[in-house]
Amino acid sequence: MTSPRKTYIIANWKMNFTPGEASLYLHRLEKRITPSRNVQVILAPSTVALQPLSLQINRRQFKLAAQNFYWRDYGAYTGETSVSQLRGFVDYAIVGHSERRYVFNESEEDIAKKVAAAIRNNLTPILCIGETAMERKDGETAAAIYSQLINGLHEVSKEDISKIIIAYEPVWAISSNKNARPAKPADIDEAQILIRKHVSKLFGKTASEQIPVLYGGSVNSDTAGGYLSINGIDGLLIGGASLIADSFCAIVETAKGMKKYE
Ligand code: 13P
């Protein structure tokens, strides 16, 4: 029997915690989360906290992810941080989060270049895709998922598709949005089937079966178990609940206790 796929539990702290607060919070998590072969816990603090946390973490227990970066490796780009400057500190990089797409007007072209830059620098991109409330209302969910996938993966070769994680985050389910509501397991299942179908068309069947697909949007310690039990969902990308140690640790425990790892 092949061993079950790894589960990824990712904490996106967004623009919260000073470096000092992030370090204290990490201390609390360190005491409560033990390393696991099956569950990879990844923390995505803001850029200023990446360097100090990279010195503090035990990499068998936690990995770090960048929330954002610029796709060029160096040059005259005032205020930007390149992925080549970050790669000593992080193993993963979030790309295409809806807050980057819609608050900072990041284009599909920027996103494709960021995915390519992460791979070029040996980091695993976590490509976020997901439809808006309006797109869902207009019956355009499948089209939105397809276009974000095909554009985001535009510069990825067949050899490199195995280095990518996809996170399905419907914009209407993210807790910071007005009228946010959690997605139903059936919606998430439909989306992961679609994602795998498109990956299969673009990169082949093996890639579609092996690519990790995560869910994000208003996940908390009560709902995590239900989402994780969807066949084809390989983990969670968590915003609000990742800022509360009790909630985040409970979600990690739920992931570790999943039936497939018994
Ligand atoms: P919430 O868990 O706060 O809805 O945030 C989800 C998210 O945007 C993670 O990237």
Q: What is the pLDDT of residues 129-171, one digit of tens each?
A: 999 999 999 999 999 999 999 999 999 999 999 999 999 999 9
Measured distance CA(46)–CA(48) in Å, rounded? 6
Q: What token pair was written down for 65?
A: 């992810």
What is the reported pTM?
Answer: 0.97
- Phi, psi values for residue 213, rounded to 5°: -120, 120
The CA-atom distances, in angstroms, between 251 and each of 43, 152, 174, 233, 241 are 14, 29, 17, 15, 9
Ligand 1 centroid – CA 175 distance (Å)? 6
Amino acid 1: pLDDT: 55
Place of tokens 């990490």: 26
Tell which one of 169, 172, 248 to mutate to probe ligand 1, the residue whose CB is within 8 A of the most ligand atoms. Answer: 169
DSSP string of 23-82?
Answer: HHHHHHHHHH----SSEEEEEE--HHHHHHHHHH--TTT-EEEES--BSSSSSS-TT--B
Residue-wise pLDDT tens digits, 108-133: 999 999 999 999 999 999 999 999 99
Ligand 1 centroid – CA 67 distance (Å)? 12
**Apex 31 CA angle, 30 and 34, nearest 5:** 70
- E strand map for the chain: 7-12, 39-44, 63-66, 92-95, 124-129, 165-168, 213-216, 235-238
CA atoms within 13 A on the CB side of 222: 2
Cβ contact 130:168 at 8 Å: yes
Q: Which atom of ligand 1 is nearest to the CA of 218?
A: 4
Judge whether residue 2 has pLDDT over 80: no
Residue-wise pLDDT tens digits, 38-71: 999 999 999 999 999 999 999 999 999 999 999 9
Q: What type of residue sits at position 5? A: R
Measured distance CA(64)–CA(44) in Å, rounded? 6
Amino acid 262: pLDDT: 86
% pLDDT > 70, the chain: 99
Mean residue pLDDT across the chain: 96
CATH topology of domain 7-256: TIM Barrel (3.20.20)
> What mean pLDDT comes out for the span 178-199?
95
Judge whether residue 193 has pLDDT over 90: yes
Backbone angle region of 220, left / alpha / beta, with phi > 0 → left and psi within -120 to 50 → alpha: beta
Helix (H) or strand (E) holding 187: helix 185-203
Amino acid 32: pLDDT: 97
Residue-wise pLDDT tens digits, 210-219: 999 999 999 9
Cβ < 6 A, ligand 1 pocket: 12, 97, 169, 174-176, 216-219, 237-241
With H, G, I as helix, E, B as strand and everything else as coil, classify residue 12: strand
Q: What type of residue sits at position 204? A: G
Measured distance CA(221)–CA(48) in Å, rounded? 28
pLDDT-based confidence at residue 246 (cuts at 50, 70, 90): very high
Q: Which atom of ligand 1 is nearest to the CA of 237?
A: 9
pLDDT-based confidence at residue 4 (cuts at 50, 70, 90): confident
pLDDT-based confidence at residue 177 (cuts at 50, 70, 90): confident
- Residue with CA closest to ligand 1 atom 5: 239
Measured distance CA(211)–CA(5) in Å, rounded? 10
Judge whether residue 189 has pLDDT over 60: yes
Q: Which of 75, 73, 111, 107 is nearest to 94 (CA)?
A: 111
Stated length of the chain: 262
Residues with a catalytic annotation lie at 97, 169
